[in-house]
A and B are shown apart, each in its own frame.
Chain A
Amino acid sequence: GNSVTQMEGPVTLSEEAFLTINCTYTATGYPSLFWYVQYPGEGLQLLLKATKADDKGSNKGFEATYRKETTSFHLEKGSVQVSDSAVYFCAPLSGGSNYKLTFGKGTLLTVNP
């Protein structure tokens, strides 16, 4: 089955710092890749996605590039804000006849003013 290895948290940064959250995966077939974000007390929401190799997903200043050769999808942001404080989940979506998301354990990010 699929699996995700995600950078262990918690990660604590100062406002305007650079963020990287590492994610590597194993998946059957040729997965689509997603980053979801969960703000306190809320459900998950899509942050960005990439559906094929070398695609770059981006949203709200966050970026991640689909690296098929290294099976990675690292999340980056050049300058974090306090409002980015949340839990971030990496998730490949396997294909074939059974489309299921496999979530990493999540990385808690806290951004201090």
Chain B
Amino acid sequence: DAGVIQSPRHEVTEMGQEVTLRCKPISGHNSLFWYRQTMMRGLELLIYFNNNVPIDDSGMPEDRFSAKMPNASFSTLKIQPSEPRDSAVYFCASSLGQGRGLEQYFGPGTRLTVT
């Protein structure tokens, strides 16, 4: 079975450029999560969707970040304009839904470097 798929795996960009990260959740999963991992702040939840609808975006750091889920099999996280402090590993995860004990399955991550 294919797991959560993320692309690109690595992204290097210059400050001020737009960056788009992509995620394909596991087929049949109804919930999708975007996380950011840095040494300083650890693993932070940015936003999550349930049935393609954003439920909680309180973790999105600022207006430069936006996320969409146009259908059940695709989501994007966009940063515009990017800044060096956005450098991190971004993970997408999916789960069967919102319920007690339901496991989240993580993708391999996108390592973003903003110079």
| Contact, CB under 8 Å: B43 / A49 | no
Give the interface centre of B45, B100, B107 by most chain A CB atoms within 10 Å. B100
Q: Quick one: which of B42, B55, B91, B100 contacts A43, CB cutoff 8 A? A: B91
| Number of cross-chain contacts by CB at 8 Å | 50
| Contact, CB under 8 Å: B106 / A44 | yes
| Contact, CB under 8 Å: A49 / B56 | no
| Contact, CB under 8 Å: A106 / B100 | no
| Contact, CB under 8 Å: A51 / B101 | yes
Q: Given A103-B42, A106-B42: A98 and B101 within 8 A (CB)?
A: no
The reply on A68 being an interface residue by CB < 8 A is no
B13 to chain A, nearest CB (A): 21
Give the interface centre of A45, A99, A106 by most chain B CB atoms within 10 Å. A99
**A86-113 interface bits toward B, Cβ cutoff 8 Å, 1 = contact, 0 = none:** 0001000101001111011110000000
Interface size grouping (class) on chain A: 20 to 34
A12 to chain B, nearest CB (A): 19
The complex places the Cα of A78 from the Cα of B91 at a distance, in Å, of: 31
What residues of chain A lie closer than 8 Å to B103, measured between beta carbons? 34, 46, 49
**B21-45 interface bits toward A, Cβ cutoff 8 Å, 1 = contact, 0 = none:** 0000000000101000000001101
The complex places the Cα of A43 from the Cα of B31 at a distance, in Å, of: 17
| Contact, CB under 8 Å: B45 / A89 | no
| Contact, CB under 8 Å: B98 / A101 | no
The reply on A81 being an interface residue by CB < 8 A is no
| Contact, CB under 8 Å: A99 / B98 | yes
Q: Given A89-B43, A98-B56, A100-B45: A32 and B106 within 8 A (CB)?
A: no
What residues of chain B lie closer than 8 Å to A101, measured between beta carbons? 33, 45, 104
The complex places the Cα of A95 from the Cα of B105 at a distance, in Å, of: 18
The reply on B2 being an interface residue by CB < 8 A is no
| Contact, CB under 8 Å: A103 / B43 | yes
| Contact, CB under 8 Å: A42 / B100 | no
List residues of chain A with CB under 8 Å of any chain B CB.
32, 34, 36, 42-46, 49, 51, 89, 93, 95, 98-101, 103-106
Given contacts A34-B103, A106-B42, 4 further A-B contacts (CB under 8 A): A43-B91, A45-B105, A89-B43, A93-B102
